[in-house]
Copies of this chain bind each other. A is one copy, B any other.
Amino acid sequence: MSLVIIGTVAYDAIETPFGKTDKIVGGAATFAGMAASYLYDHVKLISVIGEDFGDTNLNLLKDKGIDTEGIQIIKGGKSFFWSGKYHNDMNSRDTLATELNVLADFDPIVPEKYQDCEYLLLGNLTPQVQLTTLERLNHTPKLVVLDTMNFWMDVALDDLKAVLKKVDVLTINDEEARQLSGEYALVKAAEVILNMGPKYLIIKKGEHGALLFGENQVFYAPALPLAEVFDPTGAGDTFAGGFVGYLAKVNTVNFNNMKNAIIYGSALASFCVERFGTERLQNLTQEDISKRIQQFIALSKFEISE
């Protein structure tokens, strides 16, 4: 059994009020894969990179025990590159550059040994590529999680709706939930979206936590109040990776385990934003994670006896 993650493995250049980076390693599959690797041993990535990516960078993934056989390296190609600048409130950003490069013609390969996939994360990417990946699996995994963003709602809504029909969980943020559903109240938005295919919907609200809808239940996960968000890049991907990584570990999909999975995803995302790019995710210990989970428990636990 394995957890397969498809998404970008890429370069980012980031500017925040706290500083600026040159090209550093980024990409949805990178963040999600690293996060998942702390919770589950058999993580396998599908992606595409150029020759410029380099062994050192690829080793950041391999060092975490992540299988990279599904990452195609295009000879003479350049890796996907994104550059952005965050505003002072860290909640909004300008995209300075998006160079698709090898991503433009990405035809995902599912290696034979990935066919043991029981948990699949379709990381933020062209819906068509997400769909192709699903089709190239020779079976239906136990759980398919889809992460996406407003950009795909703008330019590829029909494709996105086609993928939505085939997934179990969708993770998007509150504005995206409103855009996709046409409803302002998130309870109503969830109702509309759950009719589009997914059995569960996670609405990520950044510093306001996350909501899980499904099985006619709702769960409100808190976010850890942070004194400083150093760089939010990859937080959503990290969340998704931690979420599915936890579920692969416990290997039973139900509402209660999903609640815990959201807490793990949130905990890993709270580390992610403490440094630029993947820096903080590169060297976490199980003790770091365990302590952070305890903080989440302390943060939201109350006991009312009537």
Spell out A's residues near B (CB within 8 Å).
88-89, 184-188, 205, 207-209, 211, 217-223, 225-229, 256, 259-260, 263, 290, 293, 297-300, 302-304, 306
Contact = CB atoms under 8 A, between A and B. Distances in A.
Nearest to A222: B220
A299 B220 contact: yes
A208 B221 CA distance: 11
B211 A225 contact: yes
Contacts of A219: 299-300, 302
Contact of A259 (B184, B207, B221, B302): B302
Contacts of A209: 208-209, 220, 222
A186 B256 CA distance: 30
A185 B187 CA distance: 27
Given A225-B218, A225-B220, A227-B187, A263 B304 contact: yes
A306 B250 CA distance: 11
Contacts of A222: 209, 220, 222, 300
Nearest to A183: B227
A219 B225 CA distance: 10
Q: 8 tightest CB-CB pairs across the interface, nearest first? A: A220-B222, A208-B208, A259-B302, A187-B227, A187-B225, A220-B299, A260-B304, A220-B300
A168 B209 CA distance: 28
Contacts of A205: 208
Contacts of A297: 304
Contact of A223 (B220, B225, B260): B220
A9 to B, nearest CB: 31
A100 to B, nearest CB: 34
Given A218-B225, A220-B223, A222-B220, A302 B184 contact: no
A264 to B, nearest CB: 8
Given A185-B227, A187-B226, A302 B220 contact: no
A268 to B, nearest CB: 14
Contact of A225 (B186, B298, B302): B186
Nearest to A185: B227
A88 B263 CA distance: 33
A217 B124 CA distance: 36
Nearest to A306: B290
Task: Point out which of A221, A227, A297, A306 has the most chain B C-beta atoms below 10 A from its C-beta.
Answer: A227
